[in-house]
Amino acid sequence: DMSDPKDQVIAVEFQADGVYLRLADGRVVGNPLWWHPWLEAATPEQRAKVEMYELSVYFPDLDDGLDVEEMM
């Protein structure tokens, strides 16, 4: 198992222009929301329901997710 606790996503933050994933070691990875049209079009309720994992998050109501390495 190559899991590393510092790679755990601990928060997902939305701002007007983007989405940001905060990792346990303090890193923040973000993209403009328009890079992820499915997420840009989501309701606040859909965005709020999120499962956080190491290096990824998943939005069950949207059946899609974000990968930290792809976002970098």
Return the DSSP state at 69: H
- pTM for this entry: 0.89
Q: Give me the tens of pLDDT residue by residue for the chain, a chain 72 residues long.
A: 567 788 999 999 999 889 999 999 999 999 999 999 999 999 999 999 999 999 999 999 999 999 999 998
Report the alpha-carbon distance of residue 63 to residue 72 in Å, rounded: 22
Say if residues 38 and 25 touch (Cβ distance below 8 Å): no
* Side chain identity, residue 25: D
* Side chain identity, residue 67: D
